[in-house]
Amino acid sequence: MADSSPRTTAGIGRNDTDHRQPDRKLAASKRRRHAMTATRALHARSLSDPEGFWAEQARRIDWETPFETVLDDSRAPFTRWFVGGRTNLCHNAVDRHLAARADQPALIYVSTETGQHRTYSYAELHDEVNRMAAILQQLGVVKGDRVLIYMPMIPEAAFAMLACARIGAIHSVVFGGFASVSLAARIDDAQPRVIVSADAGSRGGKVVPYKPLLDEAVNLAAHKPERVLLVDRQLAPMALTAGRDQDYAAWRERVGAARVPCVWLESSEPSYVLYTSGTTGKPKGVQRDTGGYAVALAASMDYIFCGKAGDTMFSSSDIGWVVGHSYIVYGPLLAGMATLMYEGTPVRPDGGILWQLVEQYRVNIMFSAPTAIRVLKKQDPAWLTRYDLSSLRLLFLAGEPLDEPTADWIQQGIGKPVVDNYWQTETGWPIIAIQRGIDPLPAKLGSPGVPVYGYDLKIVDEATGAECPPGQKGVVAIDGPLPPGCMSTVWGDDDRFVKTYWTGVPGRRCYSTFDWGVQDEDGYIFILGRTDDVINVAGHRLGTREIEESISSHAAVAEVAVVGVHDALKGQVAMAFAIVRDAGRIATQADRIALEGEVLKTVDRQLGAVARPARVFFVNALPKTRSGKLLRRAMQAVAEGRDPGDLTTIEDPTALAQLQEAMQG
């Protein structure tokens, strides 16, 4: 377990290598060697003795039945952790804390959109989760059933997730920013018995109705849920479909102070499915186990996030993304902390709101995304010092590359260490980080840090699978078995799990992250972007193929290619290049503008504004190889004003020039 000595809050990066002060420099270097040893030692031990290491970590949670085998990799890559052990995520996140901290805040809810705020103690959270579990049971949900949660950031969304975990139902949360076609694809894949939703969300002061999108999605989907449970926030009118649609408030009254026992699950039984984008247009359902996830999160709260029972954590993400699952809902609650759930933007009512919340709720640990910080950079810097941030120990940032100016700006501005961490929906918790709960290894700007215990991370040559020496770019890969908490399979498609993740690197049976990376002499990893067609817009992971499919559904479009293009604020934006069926549709500039607007509306309606490209340019040809493969990387380079590289395979060399012209025009 982590040592319990007071944790350092020494600055990271440049502060630790101050050349003007030799004694400080020496101390820092000594500290670094020591630190390297502790982090490295734990990492080495986790790989040389995974059973021993993870058996110790498993003591962080309650088991109703102890496990018999720590690790079963006999059917690799379908690794099973804590085989035979029975546990329950909701018990560990809620019930387990009642004895010691029933009256302590568990869930702090703040909406700057509606002005609503409310703190639920562990006892109150327990009550609400029990009620929600009783409702779901009465609506017919049993162990193993899927419950799709399509909700704004309201407490009921967390109640629903925890209630599913309580009764052994598998939740599948779909980000509220997705629209009907995205939602329908997820309904058909997950086949939920019940959907939990609400009348509307609100963003930037604007009501975003959910119910009409949900109705349209259910119409489009082949699978029909038996029941839809709706929270009426009274933000938007809501038409209820008799028999199918159920009013949450009425049910809540009806079940009263219900108590629903936890259903104990075997460790490998699924807790949830969370869809994420990949290379194809069809989203992948990342399936997570129960015991491994609970243990991995509990360990990460200590070793990586330095969270202690009684602390308050504020993750400014959304429950629709993996950060929301792991570090708004499960992680902090497993650790007996209070979690702050926030509906709102970082700039409303003003650019100080995040820091105001830190002061008001005495937040100790914050987790956000680099884009949110870049948004704040456009605000008056005085906001960073207006509030009392003395409670705050660390600011974690993840989800996209953290550029040095942004890291520097926020670190100096709030005077707190910033901790970059790298991971994926698939892994559920950090792969690369400075693990400050183990020791204060100094950070290097531009790198999320070193491999985390449990991950046998390698930078490998994409063509041979051989390990790359320091300084050589390769694919960030993980030799199996993956540690506890990582995805167990693709929901309903074991074959896809193996083919997608475990066969991508020739000559090596390893998990591919689909990221490029490079390691330096000290073992720090630098992430250099995706190897596939996934793009990262404001920390939101999107598949270009899904966007292409949506644009292609517009009758005027014959063909389209979408690429991610660098953007100073959002990291990347999607840029679409389309060929029209009938050149007459874009005869004039006004025609082009009108058609671009129509295409963007199509994406908004089908996928949601989150997937909307920044621009749609119309061209006569797309750059392809002679065998018809799109030259996406060359397109991206041209769109970013870079050299497109080797073009020997291009079929029509004028196509790239056309892209350039279209963008300039």
Binding site for ligand PRX (CB under 6 A): 276, 322-323, 398-402, 420-425, 448, 513, 515, 527, 530, 536, 541
Alpha helix locations (H) across 378-508?
A: 383-386, 404-414, 494-502
**Smallest separation, CB 176 to ligand PRX (Å):** 16
With H, G, I as helix, E, B as strand and everything else as coil, classify residue 395.
Answer: strand
**Smallest separation, CB 240 to ligand PRX (Å):** 34
**Smallest separation, CB 182 to ligand PRX (Å):** 15
Residue closer to ligand PRX (CB basis): 295 or 418: 418
Query: Is the CB of residue 192 less than 8 Å from the CB of residue 145?
Result: yes
Q: How far is CA 455 from the centre of its chain?
A: 18
**Smallest separation, CB 570 to ligand PRX (Å):** 13
**Smallest separation, CB 355 to ligand PRX (Å):** 22
Paired residues of 530 in beta bridges: 515
**Smallest separation, CB 388 to ligand PRX (Å):** 29
Q: CA-based Rg of the chain, rounded to a whole angstrom?
A: 25
d(CA 635, CA 641) in angstroms, rounded, equals 10
Q: Are strands 146-150 and 170-173 parallel, antiparallel or unpaired?
A: parallel
**Smallest separation, CB 441 to ligand PRX (Å):** 16
Query: Is the CB of residue 57 less than 8 Å from the CB of residue 299?
Result: yes
Residue closer to ligand PRX (CB basis): 513 or 636: 513
Residue closer to ligand PRX (CB basis): 312 or 531: 531
Q: Which helix (H) or strand (E) holds 218?
A: helix 211-220
d(CA 624, CA 632) in angstroms, rounded, equals 8
d(CA 137, CA 124) in angstroms, rounded, equals 20
d(CA 352, CA 300) in angstroms, rounded, equals 29
Query: Is the CB of residue 209 less than 8 Å from the CB of residue 177?
Result: no
Residue closer to ligand PRX (CB basis): 101 or 458: 458
**Smallest separation, CB 496 to ligand PRX (Å):** 16
Paired residues of 561 in beta bridges: 577
Q: Which helix (H) or strand (E) holds 544?
A: helix 544-552
Residue closer to ligand PRX (CB basis): 112 or 368: 368
CB atoms within 10 A of CB 138: 14
Q: Which helix (H) or strand (E) holds 30?
A: helix 22-48
Residue closer to ligand PRX (CB basis): 28 or 402: 402
Residue closer to ligand PRX (CB basis): 404 or 646: 404
Residue closer to ligand PRX (CB basis): 11 or 564: 564
